[in-house]
Homo-oligomer: A and B are copies of this chain.
Amino acid sequence: MSEVFAARRTRLREQCAAVGSTAVLVSHPANVRYLCGGSPTGAALLLGPTDDVLVRPPATAADPMVGAPIDDLRVQELGAPHGDAAVAAADLAATAGAGRLAVEEHHLTVARHRALRSIAPRLELTDLAGAVEQQRIVKDDDEISALRIAAEIADQALGELLESILVGRTERHLALELERRLVDHGADGPAFATSVGAGPHSGRSGHVPTDRRVEEGDFLTVCLGAGYRGYRCEVGRTFVIGTSPADWQIELYDLVFAAQRAGREALTPGTAYCEVDRVTRQVLAAAGREETLGARVGHGVGLENDEDPRLAPGAMGKLDACVPVTVEPGVHLPGRGGVRIDDTLVVRPEADGGPELLTITTKELLAL
């Protein structure tokens, strides 16, 4: 594995050297992990003029990454217990003779940036911007394998829940049970806070579970994700509770399903991000149901649950092969509830069979 991380760092270093930076400081945890395989809490990664160094707080501190496969780069522990790894790394860069250091201005706070300037006043600080995030968009086979396993875990947890009795249980309990099952099946943990919405709460994006109990006749929307080796996958489904759905429920479900399918089918290399949003949104708009859709119909997944690309109006860029994204439209009718359907897929060329669906839980409207 360590060659993979070294190759990623080389690519970043070359890109930065081309615009005149002799060193690069990466502080955003997911980016640190992408470039060296682990990101201890509070660590920062320096790609220096002479070598690469992971600066990290002493290992005695609370550290969820103890034992993670840090690449064979040099690891330097911070001296002071409350020192700042980014500041220490800037100091190292200056000492090693770097002239211009690219930093993540979208991650460093103004106060930390000032501390960097003050410890290394002769270093010229430039903006790395989203260079690592851009590099992370297209995934390699190992990354996609991890996402595939994460998706299997989420599907399993969801499938088991559907076999249990749901009526009378609260949204909170269902969410906690799903999270337990994710861990049972080998997830690092939930990829994000599990959302369960029953009745009037169904169909809402990011609904925080309440003490509302599931009742006969409810729509029930569940959205969950698993993390596996750091990679995060998500799946969302809406069910009907009871014997048979009402007409308005069938109609709304079919509409959201059609919108989601349109979005999924648009996932081919070369399609503009905003086009995926447009074709999905259009189906809902044609039925006059667009207003609760939210700002976008999907997003990239990987080391973060919500990363580039954004599938939204005005998003710049086009899909590549091997980019995993969600497609997750929903409609919520205030006071009544609604439908949300969410899959994670990997963009593939048509010659390879088109988009690869990672989350395979059925999208039929199940009456539970």
Residues of chain A whose beta carbon lies under 8 Å from any beta carbon of chain B: 60-64, 81-82, 103, 105-114, 127, 129, 172-173, 176, 179-180, 183, 205-208, 291-292, 294-296, 310, 312, 332
- Jot down 18 A-B pairs with beta carbons below 8 A, ordered by A: A60-B291, A61-B206, A61-B294, A62-B206, A63-B206, A81-B312, A82-B310, A105-B109, A105-B110, A105-B111, A107-B109, A109-B109, A110-B110, A110-B113, A111-B129, A172-B183, A176-B176, A180-B180
Count of this chain's copies in the oligomeric assembly: 2
Using known A-B contacts A82-B312, A108-B109, A109-B109, determine if residue A60 contacts B183 with beta carbons closer than 8 Å: no
Query: At the interface, is chain A mostly helix, strand, loop or mixed?
Result: loop
CA A294 to CA B296, docked complex, whole Å: 44
Looking across the interface, which residue of chain B has its beta carbon closest to that of A108? B110
* A208 B176 Cβ-Cβ under 8 A: no
CA A228 to CA B123, docked complex, whole Å: 46
CA A296 to CA B180, docked complex, whole Å: 33
* A176 B172 Cβ-Cβ under 8 A: no
Looking across the interface, which residue of chain B has its beta carbon closest to that of A176? B180
Which of A207, A208, A292 has the most B CB atoms < 10 Å from its CB? A208
Query: A297 → chain B, closest Cβ, in Å?
Result: 12
Query: A124 → chain B, closest Cβ, in Å?
Result: 14
Which of A106, A110, A207 has the most B CB atoms < 10 Å from its CB? A110
Apart from A82-B310, A106-B109, A110-B113, list 12 A-B contacts with CB within 8 A.
A60-B294, A61-B294, A61-B295, A62-B205, A62-B207, A81-B295, A105-B109, A105-B110, A106-B112, A109-B109, A173-B180, A176-B183
Using known A-B contacts A108-B110, A109-B107, A114-B105, determine if residue A82 contacts B206 with beta carbons closer than 8 Å: no
**Pairs of residues from A and B, 3 with the lowest C-beta to C-beta distance, nearest first:** A62-B206, A81-B295, A105-B110
Looking across the interface, which residue of chain B has its beta carbon closest to that of A57? B295
- A296: B residues at CB distance < 8 A: 81
- A207: B residues at CB distance < 8 A: 62
CA A63 to CA B332, docked complex, whole Å: 14
- A129: B residues at CB distance < 8 A: 111
* A295 B62 Cβ-Cβ under 8 A: no
Looking across the interface, which residue of chain B has its beta carbon closest to that of A206? B62
* B60 A292 Cβ-Cβ under 8 A: yes
Query: A193 → chain B, closest Cβ, in Å?
Result: 8
CA A208 to CA B188, docked complex, whole Å: 10
- Per a CB cutoff under 8 Å, which of B61, B109, B176, B206 touches A64? B206
CA A269 to CA B123, docked complex, whole Å: 45
CA A105 to CA B108, docked complex, whole Å: 10
- A61: B residues at CB distance < 8 A: 205-206, 294-295
* B208 A64 Cβ-Cβ under 8 A: yes
- A180: B residues at CB distance < 8 A: 173, 176, 180
- A106: B residues at CB distance < 8 A: 109-112
Using known A-B contacts A64-B206, A176-B176, determine if residue A294 contacts B81 with beta carbons closer than 8 Å: yes
Query: A335 → chain B, closest Cβ, in Å?
Result: 14
- A179: B residues at CB distance < 8 A: 176
